[in-house]
Amino acid sequence: MTTLRSDNLTLLGAPLGGENPLPFFRSPQHDLPVRALPGMPSEKLAGFGVEAGFRVLPYRMQDTYGRARQPLSFKTLVLENEYLAATFLPELGGRLYSLVHKPQGRELLACNPVFQPANLAIRNAWFSGGIEWNIGQLGHTFGTCAPLFAGAIRGEHGEPGLRLYEFERCKGLFWQIDCYLPPGSPLLLTYVRVVNPTDHPEAMYWWTNIAVPETPGTRVLAPTDTVVYLNNFQDLSFGAAQMPELPSLPNRDASYSLNFPFANEYFFQCDTVALPWEAALDASGKGLFEASTPRLAYRKMFCWGTHAGGRRWQEFLSEPGQAYLEIQAGLAPTQLHTQPMAPHSAWEWMQVFGLLEADPHAVHAPDWHAAYRATDQAVHKLITPERLASLAASAHARADTPAEELLHSGAGWGALELARRATVATAAQVPAAFVFPANTLGPEQAPWLTLLHEGHLPEPDPMAWPGAWMTQPEWALLTEHSLAQPATRHWYGLLHAGVQLCEHGDISSACALWHESVARKPSAWAYRNLAAIAAQTADTGRAIEQYAAAWALAQAMEQPPAALAQEYLQLLCAAGQFESADAVAMSLPAAHRTRDRIRILCGRIALALGRLDEVEQALQHEYADIREGENDLTDLWFELWARRMADATGRPLDAALRAEAQQLHPPPQSIDYRLKTA
């Protein structure tokens, strides 16, 4: 018997906090600079790095969380049958938090006992554990820490099912995941559909990110010996290799994650097999496996590594004893690849998850081919390509049927998009599955409804926060039209039109609009945007002037944005103007000085001004907002000790002394987040 119920989950966790009001502009390099090593097959170069550069608008950054934990309650939706209990978190991107195999009482996923955001996603905030559904852009997904829509649906035989769905605002896509657990099924079935209803192609990105326990003896397998491996995080170089030994890990079996003394990843090229799958099996030959229809053709293994930085990341994201690795499934050869999705098209695939039990001697055979073929046979006993195709066809037939009941609501952006489309006679029809009730429209959408129905944005007080950004071309055109009327060409419309132009590459016109916005009514928001672009183009002097003007205005606000102060300080430090930076830092509200990034910047300022005790004090704080790949804290630590050694011995502060400091004074684990120890 299958059931679907709503429940609650209480975890110790750090609250997300509010969103950053500042727009983070798209990288001028839309294509990410990646490097293919000699030997990479030419067919794997298509889409490599294309449209993979940083891009987050119209979404805002989520960067105000900390490390102070408290009991947090999350709504759950639980789909259950005799074999499996699947627990989803609709408030957090629909994350599949837990998948329990009931007959064995075995949790198949890395089920995080805490909720600890960390700076690992496009919008900054991300948390580890479970299964994450990543759509849109490289860097996890825009909605990983945001609510989505969930509804009750019916399976092939009338049993309860669960639909997760949302409107993806960056690229104008609609997506759904229909989840089924038919009576007697040992597998969770997920039918995924992505719809591009726009008039232009989009660079498509999807990876299903699955966290599983990492134990001694855990082996990751997939039905191929061909992989594309990450050679170097710094220059994003990738090469082709044959499992189980990689050039990045010589003389070790790369299918065992604990063989990696550094963080690393590689991608199984399963595009020639009828049933792509991946499994993480423990020493007894048991563990989670997933399989899909051929469109989802590629698989990935990521591990944090056994070095000090990797162990710190594991414990930082959860608690000691909760080590995990990731197996992932995606549309393209690596996560640095995209695929062009045609206008007015829909892509779909079926993916299943469950417990796999195989002969441990075969699974852990030294011969890689023998090991993955034995595992492949075990997979085929649970699911065949033909059976999976049949399940996909059945789910496809129900995909357009609206949910019987709305179980959870996301934000009002889907409803706003449907309202916009209703005003355009030629707009493509959106499938009926995407139900976004009008009552989900709220204050964030209100200014844009005014633009839609009255032809202009309202004009708020410049001392108020700027509200939500909109960058879809259709909204940019409406904003442009509103500026054609003198009566509605005000500072706020100019501010938003500039953001829209900047996001679509017309930076000079954007700056002209922001200058006009300031001339009409000065605002910290327009000055900040001008400063950000000046900094991006290395016009440091002008950037500092504009940030100073922005911060002077912001200080008169009821809530001066800490993010603005942080950017101002960061630029002053980068320019070597540490005295000025110190003066700004000393003038900040006390609450701003406790912000993680500002604490670190104050540590840099203190180091430059010779206040070494303050640097040590800054390094004693437990930081939450540390970016994957950043070494700011350990760099501060090593420089602190190099300067202390120079002061104590009279030796010059040179490369030799710095190298000696690194050898004599290893950093405490609490600040060591290095992906690779030099």
The C-alpha atoms of residue 60 and residue 24 are separated, in whole angstroms, by 7
> What pLDDT does 625 receive?
87
pLDDT tens column, 661-676? 889 899 988 888 887 7
User: Could you tell me the CA-to-CA distances from 404 to 160, 163, 251, 407, 435 in Å, in that order?
Assistant: 10, 10, 56, 9, 11
Express as a percent the part of the chain with pLDDT over 90: 88
AA identity, residue 273? V
Q: What was the pLDDT predicted at 557?
A: 94
pLDDT band at 406 (very low <50, low <70, confident <90, very high): very high
Confidence band of 678 (pLDDT split at 50, 70, 90): low
State the residue for tokens 């009001």.
21
What integer pLDDT is reported at residue 57 of this predicted model?
98
Model confidence at 381, pLDDT cuts 50, 70, 90, reads very high
Structure tokens at 615: 């640097």
Query: What are the CA-CA distances from residue 375 to residues 225, 281, 289, 328 (Å)?
Result: 13, 9, 10, 17
Check residue 4 and give its pLDDT. 98
Exposed e or buried b for every residue in 437-459, given b needs 16+ CB within 10 A? eeebbeeebebbeebbeeebbee
pLDDT tens-place string over residues 312-337: 899 999 999 999 999 999 999 999 99
Pairing verdict, β 298-303 and 324-330: antiparallel
> What's residue 410's pLDDT?
98
Instruction: Report the sign of the C-alpha dihedral through residues 260, 261, 265, 269, in that order.
Output: negative
Contact yes or no for 368/244 (Cβ under 8 A): yes
**pLDDT class of 156 with cuts at 50, 70, 90:** very high
Task: Give residue 234's pLDDT.
Answer: 79
- In this prediction, residues 514-529 reach a mean pLDDT of 98
| Region 486-500 average pLDDT | 97
Strands 3-13 vs 114-115: parallel, antiparallel or unpaired: parallel
Domain 457-671 fold is 1.25.40
CATH topology of domain 3-162+178-398: Beta-galactosidase; Chain A, domain 5 (2.70.98)
Per-residue model confidence as pLDDT tens digits over 95-114: 999 999 999 999 999 999 99
| 299 sits in which H/E element | strand 298-303
Q: What is the pLDDT of residues 361-370, one digit of tens each?
A: 999 999 999 9
State how far the Cα of 676 lies from the Cα of 678, in Å rounded to an integer.
6
Task: Provide the 8-state DSSP code for 654.
Answer: S
Share of the chain above pLDDT 70, in %: 100
Is pLDDT above 80 for 455? yes
For the record, the structure tokens of 362 come out as 């075969």
pLDDT at 544 over 70: yes
pLDDT at 422 exceeding the cut of 90: yes
pLDDT at residue 535 is higher than 90 = yes
Q: Average pLDDT for residues 276-289, to the nearest whole number?
A: 98
At residue 101, the pLDDT reads 98
Comparison of pLDDT for 417 and 657, the residue scoring more: 417
Given a cut of 90, whether residue 130 has pLDDT beyond it is yes
What pLDDT does 236 receive?
87
Quick one: DSSP state of residue 456?
Answer: S
In this predicted structure, the answer to whether residue 424 has a pLDDT above a threshold of 80 is yes
Domain boundaries, the chain: 3-162+178-398, 457-671
For residue 659, pLDDT beyond 70: yes
Q: How many residues does the chain have?
A: 678
CB 511 within 8 A of CB 517: no
Q: Taking 80 as the threshold, does the pLDDT of residue 677 lie above it?
A: no
Mean pLDDT for the chain overall: 95
**Per-residue confidence (pLDDT) for residue 70, from 0 to 100:** 97
Amino acid code (one letter) for 107: E
Query: Predicted confidence band at 631 (pLDDT cuts at 50, 70, 90)?
Result: confident
DSSP-derived 3-state class of residue 324: strand
Position 122 confidence tier, pLDDT thresholds 50, 70, 90: very high
